[in-house]
Structure 1
Amino acid sequence: MAGPSRLREDDPLRGRRPPVSVGACGQEEGIAMGSHAAARRRRPVVLAALGTTLLAALLSIPSAGGAPQSADACGGVGAELPRGDCGPFWQVVAEDFNGDRVPLGGFSDCDHHADTSAAYCGGLKGSYRDNWWAYPAGWRDTSNDRGRGVVGVYHPEDTVSVGPAENGDGRMRVRMWRPDDGGPVHAAAVVPRAVMQMKYGKYSARIKVTKPAPGYKSAWLHYGGGCEMDHPEGNWSGDLTAFHHPCGGGEQGSFQGADEWTEWHTVSTEWTPGNVRFFVDGRQTGHDTRGVPDHPLSWVLQNESALEGPGAAPGSSAQLEITWVAAYAYDWK
């Protein structure tokens, strides 16, 4: 389905920006990223035919030795940031947000080499400037092309910050909000620079919505060239789901991951040649082999106004917290 327009407010074009040609280094610049408002379809769960060992792996319940079992490549289900390589994946991002703080206003001046691996935010400093980018202020979110009564505009400068929680744990916070006067939702999409325009990989994070409200959602995704993988996706006041839109069209794959965003969850996407797998808390929740992308894409931690259900109320806000992000390249050659 079509991606978010992400155009500046004064841009005369509507809808998705066309991608430019792929350069000699294999980088696509200006590819639009996207989401959708499709209804969730729950997969039937059949347990009777599963053996005890397989069931334990799927549900991440304790094994005979007492340790939880995970189905993903890293094999762990704990709350700590995983470090080191995992099976066929080698780690290129390991961020626990325990370093420097980034106050509101840091994620500003982000319209430098936008949508390329050279993109950066002029308001950031040090490692955060080196490692993070965000959709620039003024780009419009997906809802603008869906006929929604409440739409959103990206404003990373007043929605994204980094600092410790009360217990000292470092976190990135995405606090989206709608002005009292009923203007557009202030949305945020942040991007780890090390995995921009990367082909295949493993992408993981530990997240929790600490303040839910109707009208706010996430769609963390890889998108471009008629392909789309979304995980996690959903309204923050509802369920956490994954979607796969095969390249070139075809019926989407829809996979429920968890009932609530308001609990801590570890979410992972593993993208390898001909396969995409989705995991929540070490449990595989979805697998698709149809039309899996085979070209470089960026991982976008996209948070925006809701595409279905009630819109955000004037004066409302909602907040997502991220305690760590890990990403891995895949040795596909």
Structure 2
Amino acid sequence: MHRLLHRALVTASTLLVSMMLPAPPGHASQTAPSDDACHTVNTNVPRGDCGSFRQTFAENFNGDTVPLGAFSDCDHQAGQPDAFCDGLRGKYRADWWAYPTGWSDTAASGADGNDGRSVGGRYHPEDTVSVGPAADGDGRMRIRMWRPPDGGPVHAAAIVPKAAMHQAYGKFSARLRVTHATPGYKSAWLHHGDGCEIDYPEQNWTDTLAAFHHPCNGEEQDAFPTEARWTAWHTVSLEWTPEAVRFYLDGRLIGLSTDGVPTQPLTWVLQNESALDGPYAAPGSSAELQITWVTVYAYEGAR
């Protein structure tokens, strides 16, 4: 469930966000004016349908407080649409799930073929995930990963909006920022299963955002790097239709892939974990990602 294929490190030579590397035939490489009908680039969560996409879930975290410890006892119907964390209450219990405490992250499990890194992580939603207002009052989900001072495994977090579980096609958008970047921590928000995988956004938090599509037909992955730093606010949006997978960053198209597009239902996982390359997380270190809104859409087809 939490497999992730190994990626090469995106280097400082990555092209600007407004440009794309040359792509093989059949893949769009140019930036175009956004077709992202809900390309909101501020703290206001988009409301309503977006072209061919019908909104099924929108969360701005405003007015809510979910303390550390609430995302606990999550090993109930794990991976299924009726999964739940028994420590949550109200709408958060109904709307959110997390990988249960103790599951190995990708680096620790070697699930991507890396044979297991010397420093990996375990998912611990109970001591990494909380919700509350920022200093300016804006509601945020906070994901603070950390490594114990004694050098134990990284405490990681993979959060799942239940509205995006077992869904074929759709639109998946969020606004996020790494507020404290430290070597050894990363995100790989993904859909995957049966040899198919879509990853966006992905990369180490000290590097730049990138998008990847691993075609279901086993063809070579499509990679769309940017020079957008995790430490700035960004709106990320993935559009998955029967014809293509499109990646948007701050309302701009950064990549389009048409080979081996998944046709089966997959689950959107906001996966945050220990790095698969580069420096290990140091004992006693921590890093934090904040999310100001998340929204999910079902694909309704052309109108």
TM-score computed with the length of structure 1 as normaliser: 0.82
Q: Percent identity?
A: 62
Q: Distance in 1 between matches of 2:267 and 2:209?
A: 21
Note the C-alpha offset of 1:130: 0.3
2:233 is aligned with 1:264: yes
- How many matched pairs? 284
Q: Give the letter aligned to residue 51 of structure 2.
A: G
CA RMSD, Structure 1 to Structure 2 (Å): 1.9
Note the C-alpha offset of 1:94: 0.7
2:87 is aligned with 1:118: no
- Tell me which of 259, 282, 285 is aligned to 1:290: 259
Q: Distance in 2 between matches of 1:76 and 1:137?
A: 34
- Tell me which of 147, 153, 170 is aligned to 2:122: 153
Deviation string, structure 1 residues 85-110 (Cα, Å, up to 9, x no partner):
00000101110001321000000000
2:202 is aligned with 1:238: no
Long gaps (5+) in structure 1: 1-31, 48-56, 60-68
2:139 is aligned with 1:175: no
Partner of 1:215: 184
Contact 1:97 1:323 in 2 (8 A): yes
Q: Distance in 2 between matches of 1:121 and 1:284?
A: 36
Instruction: Compare 307-316 and 93-102 and name the one that shifted more.
Output: 93-102
Partner of 2:49: 85
Q: Distance in 2 between matches of 1:39 and 1:46?
A: 17
Deviation string, structure 1 residues 221-259 (Cα, Å, up to 9, x no partner):
001011000000000000100000000311111001343
SS at match of 1:143: helix
Partner of 2:291: 322
- Structure-2 change in CA distance of 1:204 and 1:46 (3 Å): closer
SS at match of 2:229: coil
Q: Distance in 2 between matches of 1:94 and 1:153?
A: 28
- Structure-2 change in CA distance of 1:77 and 1:163 (3 Å): closer
2:66 is aligned with 1:97: no
Deviation string, structure 1 residues 155-214 (Cα, Å, up to 9, x no partner):
000000000001110000000000000000000000000110011000000000000000
Contact 1:257 1:280 in 2 (8 A): no
Contact 1:70 1:77 in 2 (8 A): no
Note the C-alpha offset of 1:78: 3.9
Q: Distance in 2 between matches of 1:159 and 1:245?
A: 29
2:92 is aligned with 1:128: yes
2:50 is aligned with 1:71: no
Q: Give the letter aligned to residue 38 of structure 1.
A: R
Contact 1:247 1:293 in 2 (8 A): yes
4+ residue runs over 6 A deviation: none
Q: Give the letter aligned to residue 34 of structure 2.
A: S
Contact 1:204 1:268 in 2 (8 A): yes
Q: Distance in 2 between matches of 1:99 and 1:181?
A: 36
Q: Give the letter aligned to residue 125 of structure 1.
A: R
Deviation string, structure 1 residues 298-320 (Cα, Å, up to 9, x no partner):
10000000000011000000000
SS at match of 1:259: strand
Contact 1:176 1:186 in 2 (8 A): yes
Long gaps (5+) in structure 2: 22-29
2:194 is aligned with 1:203: no
SS at match of 1:127: helix
Q: Distance in 1 between matches of 2:149 and 2:138?
A: 32
Q: Distance in 1 between matches of 2:156 and 2:41?
A: 30
Partner of 2:197: 228
Contact 2:20 2:31 in 1 (8 A): no
Q: Distance in 2 between matches of 1:201 and 1:184?
A: 35
Q: Distance in 1 between matches of 2:35 and 2:301?
A: 21
Deviation string, structure 1 residues 10-59 (Cα, Å, up to 9, x no partner):
xxxxxxxxxxxxxxxxxxxxxx1332332157579479xxxxxxxxx947
